[in-house]
Chain A
Amino acid sequence: MSKILTKLSAVAARPYEAAREWKTEHSGKVIGAFPMHVPCEIAHAAGALPVILQESREPITMANAYIYPFYCGIVRSVADDAARGKLSFLDAAIFGITCTQEFGAAEILRVVAPETPLAVFQLPIALRESWALSEATTMLAKFADIAGGVTGQAVDKGSLANSIRLFNRHRTLMRTIYDLRRGNPGILAAKEMMDIVKSGMVMPRERHLSMLEQLLPELRERKRPSADEVPIFVSGHLCEAPPTEILDLIEEVGGVVVDDDLYHGFRHIATDVRENGNPIEALAEWYLEKNLVVPCPTKVDPEADWHEYLTRAVRLSRAAGVIVLAPKYCDPLFFYYPDVKETLEAQAIPHLLIETEHEAMSIEGMRTRLETFVDTVRHRQQLRLGT
């Protein structure tokens, strides 16, 4: 395995260690952002290390005293990490409130980590209302003030424009890697691809970018290992990274992940920010317009439909089937899923819904379901091709 990929996987496995190391090395400030849509460029422009908060794989313990168990994994996990002191390295945390459950996490942090300044903004969910852009702009401007207050380094147009350019380069490079994988499925395991994106959420972006620049030539040399695997599109899993065991299982049972719209995947890197004009306004526009590129079920947007996007993306990727990974208790995803289901069925695109949980998951049960699904899809392919 590539040394760079090994390092990136290590960061993805222990996502806050890199931040703690950076903080010690640079005596810098770390600003945490609850997923998904808060633009981290702002914290970067203030001289902070922006860290997108992650779901830990550890069982929930202390958070059970603060929140019911029927909440999504990332909310309970972030609450648990905070209650156990594991987020004490944060100098501030920002919540853009993607959904109601996120309020729960913010409330718990307010109680268990009172020393950590919190910035709670309700970024617009209804994206096409007349006030959406102006409200987003106002909130992001306030976030810039707060970030500057945390670091003592004011966010000005120049520094923010520089951060936007850096983050755009960063996203562009990750999209290049995605294109490579689409052209040569299997040159990166699904877990490896996710580790690339996830590590980029928690590391200094400059360092991550540099590592990817070194990785790219290596990836260009790789050849598709086999043409026998069944090409699969992996969808869903907003906010939190899917369990890597499931990604590995898909490949173990004969699938190859050719594309995805995961948050720890293409969704996070799909859209760049305009580099001209007022950078705060550009970020606010980006916040609204990225939904036209990869629609998010957490948003209300009559101009973009996740199920229609998914169908197009699946066709473009030449995937033979879709696996929808859905975290238990993720309301936005499950409110949307029936439309995804009906659309994929109407389009004769085989799909499988796998519900994931923070704690107990029957991996062997999933193996059986995935095996059956991949075998079914393979059989249908063969029938279609007459082979």
Chain B
Amino acid sequence: MSDEVKKANRLVSTKLAKKMVDEYWNFIRTAKEEGKLVCLLTGAAINPFFMVMDIAWLQGNGYASRTAGRHEERVPQQASEARGYVRELCSYARTHIGCSLFTERGVPEGVEAGEIASGMPKPDMMVSFYPSCTSALHWQQSVYRLFGKKIPSFNIIVPFRWGKNGGYMHGQEYQECVAFVVKQLREFVRFLEDVTGRRFDWDRLSELMLYVKQAAILRLEAMALCKAKPAPANFFDWSISLGPVNYLTGWPGTREFYEQLKADVEGRIARGESSVPNEKYRLFWQGIMNWNKIGWLADKFANFDACIVAGAYTHFAFWHEPWAIDPENPLEGIAINFVEHELNQGVPLFADRIVEACREYSVDGLVVHGPRTCKPWTNPQFLLVDDVTKRLGIPAAVFEGDMVDTVYYQDGLIDTKVEAMLEAIAAKRAQIA
């Protein structure tokens, strides 16, 4: 590793999302004043359904990430710990439950909670939709009980893709899973109609899903440009720019945002401008992002002369199969995107996709982030690492961390493990040479 301190060459256009993000959080903050109903969504981005019904949606995991991004997470986490939620529970959940405690019971005297942590509106309805994660259901139920069990709630279950009879996006298991989610989405629409007293406008959903499809395609096209060597952008750029396909799905401006992002990346390729100053290693990130550390990690890997060219979190979810969406009949395409979500795949399916991506992106090694409090992510990791590294003949660096709880993060360990992996890559190259 060089002695010179290097910084990642971050995509400037990611900042364009800030305006939309600020608009959205203002929308949440003022929703009640404007007479809108607020829905707490625990899970994946099915915002267009809420947009159709003029409901303000607040995604619990997104709220927790936002809280952490503003470094306000520790106070609500302490509040939930004081109530009895142990630290091994999902840190998204603990953060969000802490914010919910402030909403329902007020911020205790002497406690200084940040604006976001203390400003969560009380939901009028709750929906859970989290591929493969049972803790999300229990998290939602905890909040449901906290708010007195009075808030109407609905649960959509995404059946897990164990991988029997068929593969990715084909086979009997796949078809059954998609059909089951479609059935639930229809019931979900009836739930929304019951709660709001309004008819669901299917034409409006079609319009929104066309927009979502266009935005998603642009994002995937932009990310695919990182197959170039050196890569013009990296996984941290893509993580930062997830909002518009996550809690901002369908929001005005999201398609234009990804158009700009793609143009930015194309421009870099034309100019020969790379994401890391001196790309020597191309890596794949398996695992979720550490939201409190994202910028810091980007620079760390730049210092290693390593570019994280792709990752499961950004590339195998968040409307990653937009071509499956028929805007005129969008339910099946929506279901497909969540049935084939990264977290909803058994090891054989997931491993195949990682292997394919590593080949497409010319990956030299895997960086495996095991978030301490997220079992859907960590469940398959050791098995995935074993399978993928053997099939590709590449090394892996595995380290524990977390989405939004920094107590599980140890910088020294990451350095040690990543350096060892990079040395292994360098040694193998020297051998081949």
Contact = CB atoms under 8 A, between A and B. Distances in A.
A97 B161 CA distance: 13
A103 B160 contact: yes
Nearest to B135: A331
B379 A101 contact: yes
Given A100-B133, A126-B137, A126-B155, A339 B145 contact: yes
B277 interface: no
Contacts of B379: 67, 100-101, 103-104, 107
Contacts of A131: 180, 183-184, 187
A298 B86 CA distance: 17
Interface stretch (A117-125, A149-157, A190-198): A117-125
Interface in B353-401: 370, 372, 375-376, 378-383, 400
Nearest to A343: B145
Nearest to A102: B134
B382 to A, nearest CB: 5
A332 B383 CA distance: 24
Contacts of A331: 88-90, 134-135, 138, 375
A253 interface: no
For the side of the interface on A, what is the size category? 35 or more
Interface string B98-142: 000000000000000000000000000000000011110111111
Given A126-B157, A297-B138, A100 B383 contact: no
B184 A68 contact: no
Interface size band for B? 35 or more
Interface string B179-192: 01001100100000
Given A131-B183, A329-B88, A335 B93 contact: yes
Contact of B83 (A302, A305, A338): A338
A339 B382 contact: no
Nearest to A95: B162
B347 interface: yes
By Cβ-Cβ distance, the 9 closest A-B pairs, closest first, are A338-B84, A335-B138, A126-B155, A104-B379, A100-B375, A99-B134, A338-B83, A100-B134, A341-B84
25 contacts: A66-B382, A67-B379, A68-B381, A68-B382, A70-B372, A99-B135, A100-B133, A100-B375, A106-B162, A107-B346, A110-B346, A111-B383, A125-B157, A130-B187, A131-B187, A297-B138, A298-B134, A300-B140, A300-B141, A331-B135, A335-B85, A335-B89, A335-B93, A335-B141, A338-B84
Interface of B: 83-86, 88-90, 93, 132-135, 137-142, 144-145, 149, 153-155, 157, 159-160, 162, 180, 183-184, 187, 346-347, 370, 372, 375-376, 378-383, 400
Given A100-B132, A122-B160, 8 more contacts: A97-B160, A100-B376, A129-B154, A130-B187, A300-B141, A337-B85, A339-B142, A355-B86
